[in-house]
């Protein structure tokens, strides 16, 4: 068969793991407009398999990574031929061999024909009861057989909101707080939380970049200038990066703006000398993955750690999306970039209506640092006690449990992780934890308003600001000695206990001891959050 004939071949096969189902209770509202403009990301497989164990802790340069583990130019050309044969165009500016992404654009009619799929308009409700509309599909995508061995995923045909922000704003009525002022008095600035965890006081993060991913909302510099001025600090150097057309769009202090500002104010308070690179993307599986790969392959800002405070239950995702994300996190590991991810705020069920045990993704990827939540007890500026964060049923609770998708990684073999519900699962989350209780949370300013925020959303940037450790090193005996083991409390189905547990992981940090284990003495001017190769 000639190079150009496969594109019109009648031999087509389902794209592996591309099956998609509708949200429970979704209502079909009609067919999509055939002329509606649709953009998809075709994710290609690697030229060479990436084996992190073979790297032995070494990091690859961006150049070496691109040559070995990016996409094959010939594979990208095959997708270009496929696009041309189906009245689709390639957005070269949004395509990248190192990101293994070919961006295709075209009408809904052309996309339906190209991937043998029906696109419909649907109405559904999220877990907070808010109505939303989306373009959706059911079943598997179908592609020419010649593409089956080079394509890993096709994302963007379904544009439902994929993830939720994992923050909780202190609300006296919702959280059952008898004395709201007392709860506010028990809150802390992020810098005070860092002091409670004994973070190195003379490491600023100068010369480092912390990447933060956002799927909505925005920030206002006037808020940040006033907030950091009130803390006696300079406002951070912030770079905003647009992904798939999304930008910083502030407007709702009780919505995604709270997430964006919480992430910035926590990370920048912990590492005041670091640059903060914000990656804004649409809240779809396509936008989410595009933002991850854009951040980890950003040779302009060169982040050493990526903080993610968004996610949803594993059952909400397609297999192709989870595989694509996990592949991206492996790329980050090979490049020496650690990814910290919030483990969720809905306890052991992760908010799924069946009330069974579920964990949050992307926290369940074995190639990220999953961050759970605790509740602090303090006295005169000292940490006197710490338990699992659980305000249920009025409020939230730390996510945690066992993945039904990702197998038990080697670094958890001796952690007594409970058995998974599915035979293919086994990865336990979280890995680590930190202050997440909104009743003892973080004082934040957003959209001109002051408030107290918590949730595991705060823990991901807290850990990103301290040190982004690779999972295998975190599970060594040495590092265990630098953790505060949390042994009291539960998140529903799982209880805390000595050693690793499915509520708080290995525990919360003792910052100075962790820095010492990484050969970063507290007098060092190097960033305390400089990422160690997570391979």
Residues 201 and 310 in one domain: yes
Looking at the domain assignment, is residue 530 inside a domain?
no
Residues 302 and 407 in one domain: yes
Q: Among residues 116, 138, 155, which one ends one of the domains? A: 155
Catalytic entry in 457, 501, 508, 527: 457
- pLDDT digit string (tens) for 21-43? 999 899 999 999 999 999 999 99
Is 298 tagged catalytic? no
Distance of CA 79 to the CA centre of its chain: 28
Of residues 252 and 95, more confidence is placed in 95
The pLDDT value recorded for residue 205 is: 86
Residues 237 and 382 in one domain: yes
Residue 521 has pLDDT above 60, yes or no: no
Tell me how far apart the alpha carbons of residues 210 and 461 are, in angstroms, rounded to a whole number: 9
Residues 489 and 467 in one domain: yes
The pLDDT value recorded for residue 467 is: 56
> To the nearest whole number, what is the mean pLDDT of the chain?
90
Tell me how far apart the alpha carbons of residues 391 and 81 are, in angstroms, rounded to a whole number: 55
- pLDDT digit string (tens) for 125-168? 987 788 999 999 999 999 999 999 999 999 999 999 999 999 99
List 14's β-bridge partners, or say none: 142
Domain span holding position 289: 164-517
Residues 88 and 176 in one domain: no
Residues 204 and 124 in one domain: no
Residue 173 has pLDDT above 70, yes or no: no
DSSP characters over 332-365: HHHTT-EEEEE--SBGGGTT-TT-S---EETTTS
Tell me how far apart the alpha carbons of residues 429 and 348 are, in angstroms, rounded to a whole number: 10
Residue 5 has pLDDT above 60, yes or no: no
Q: Is 248 helix (H, G, I), strand (E, B) or coil?
A: coil
Residues 189 and 124 in one domain: no
Residues 114 and 174 in one domain: no
Q: How many domains does the chain have?
A: 2
Residues 147 and 255 in one domain: no
- pLDDT digit string (tens) for 175-216? 444 445 555 568 999 999 999 999 888 778 888 899 999 999
Looking at the domain assignment, is residue 199 inside a domain?
yes
Which range (47-51, 370-374, 467-471) has the least confidence? 467-471
- What are 274's two structure tokens? 């670091």
Looking at the domain assignment, is residue 318 inside a domain?
yes
Looking at the domain assignment, is residue 343 inside a domain?
yes
Best CA proximity match to 305, nearest among 479, 435, 470, 431: 470
Looking at the domain assignment, is residue 529 inside a domain?
no
- Write the CA distances from 61 to 46, 324, 334, 335, 363, integer angstroms: 16, 21, 9, 7, 26
Average pLDDT over residues 326-350: 96
Residue 495's pLDDT band, with cuts at 50, 70 and 90, is very high
Calculate ∠ Cα 430-368-497, nearest 5°. 15
Looking at the domain assignment, is residue 465 inside a domain?
yes
Q: Among residues 125, 155, 185, which one ends one of the domains? A: 155
Catalytic entry in 146, 263, 391, 435: 263
Looking at the domain assignment, is residue 82 inside a domain?
yes
Residues 119 and 260 in one domain: no
Residues 172 and 82 in one domain: no
Residue 276 has pLDDT above 60, yes or no: yes
Helix/strand/coil (H/E/C) assignment for every residue in 123-190: EEECCCCCEEEEEECCECCEEEHHHCCCEEEEECCCCCCCCEECCEECCCCCCCCCCHHHHHHCCECH
The CB density around residue 485, as the number of other CB atoms within 10 Å, is 17
Is 9 tagged catalytic? no
Residue 513's pLDDT band, with cuts at 50, 70 and 90, is confident
CATH number at residue 327: 3.40.50.200
Average pLDDT over residues 357-366: 98
- What are 189's two structure tokens? 């600035």
Tell me how far apart the alpha carbons of residues 356 and 199 are, in angstroms, rounded to a whole number: 37
Which range (56-60, 159-163, 474-478) has the least confidence? 474-478
The pLDDT value recorded for residue 199 is: 86
The pLDDT value recorded for residue 479 is: 74
Tell me how far apart the alpha carbons of residues 318 and 153 are, in angstroms, rounded to a whole number: 10
Q: Among residues 155, 174, 189, which one ends one of the domains? A: 155
Q: Is 486 exposed, middle or buried (0-12, 13-18, 19+ CB in 10 A)?
A: buried
Is 457 tagged catalytic? yes
Looking at the domain assignment, is residue 533 inside a domain?
no
Residues 149 and 181 in one domain: no
């Amino acid at each position: 068969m000639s190079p150009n004939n496969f594109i019109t071949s009648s031999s087509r096969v389902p794209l592996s793991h591309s099956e998609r189902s509708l949200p429970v209770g979704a209502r079909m509202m009609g067919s999509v407009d055939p002329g509606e403009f649709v953009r998809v990301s075709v994710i290609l497989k690697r030229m060479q398999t990436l084996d992190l164990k073979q790297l032995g802790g070494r990091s690859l340069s961006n150049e070496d990574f691109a040559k070995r583990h990016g996409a094959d130019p010939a594979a990208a050309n095959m997708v270009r031929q496929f696009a041309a044969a189906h009245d689709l165009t390639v957005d070269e500016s949004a395509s990248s061999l190192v990101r293994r992404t070919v961006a295709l654009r075209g009408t809904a009619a052309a996309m339906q024909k190209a991937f043998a799929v029906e696109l419909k308009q649907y109405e559904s409700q999220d877990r907070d009861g808010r109505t939303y509309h989306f373009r959706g599909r059911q079943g598997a995508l179908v592609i020419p057989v010649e593409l089956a061995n080079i394509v890993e995923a096709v994302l963007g045909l379904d544009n439902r909101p994929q993830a939720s922000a994992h923050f909780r704003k202190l609300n006296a009525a919702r959280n059952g707080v008898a004395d709201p002022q007392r709860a506010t008095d028990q809150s802390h600035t992020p810098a005070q939380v860092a002091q409670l965890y004994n973070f190195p006081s003379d490491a600023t993060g100068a010369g480092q970049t912390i990447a933060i991913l956002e799927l909505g909302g925005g920030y206002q510099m006037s808020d940040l200038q006033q907030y950091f001025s009130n803390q006696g600090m300079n406002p951070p150097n912030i770079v905003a990066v647009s992904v798939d057309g999304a930008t910083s769009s502030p407007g709702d202090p009780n919505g995604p703006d709270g997430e964006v500002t919480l992430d910035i104010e926590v990370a920048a308070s912990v590492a005041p000398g670091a640059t903060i690179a914000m990656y804004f993307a649409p809240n779809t599986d396509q936008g989410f993955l595009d933002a991850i790969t854009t951040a980890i392959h950003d040779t302009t800002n060169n982040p050493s750690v990526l903080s993610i405070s968004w996610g949803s239950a594993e059952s909400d995702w397609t297999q192709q999306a989870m595989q694509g994300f996990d592949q991206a996190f492996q790329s980050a590991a090979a490049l020496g970039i650690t990814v910290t991810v919030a483990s969720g705020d809905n306890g052991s069920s992760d908010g799924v209506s069946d009330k069974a045990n579920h964990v949050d993704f992307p926290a369940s990827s074995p190639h990220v640092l999953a961050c759970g939540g605790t509740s602090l007890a303090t006295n005169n500026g000292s940490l006197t006690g710490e338990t699992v964060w659980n305000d249920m049923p009025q409020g939230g609770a730390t996510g945690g449990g066992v993945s039904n998708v990702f197998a038990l990684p080697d670094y958890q073999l001796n952690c007594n992780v409970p058995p998974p519900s599915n035979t293919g699962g086994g990865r336990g989350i979280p890995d680590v934890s930190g202050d997440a209780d909104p009743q003892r949370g973080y004082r934040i300013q957003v959209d001109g308003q002051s408030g107290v925020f918590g949730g595991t959303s705060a823990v991901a940037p807290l850990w990103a600001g301290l040190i982004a450790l690779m999972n295998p090193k975190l599970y060594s005996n040495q590092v265990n000695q630098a953790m505060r083991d949390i042994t009291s409390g539960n998140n529903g189905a799982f209880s805390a206990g000595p050693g690793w547990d499915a509520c708080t992981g290995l525990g919360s940090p003792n910052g100075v001891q962790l820095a010492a284990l990484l050969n970063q003495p507290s007098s060092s001017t190097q960033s305390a959050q400089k990422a160690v190769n997570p391979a």
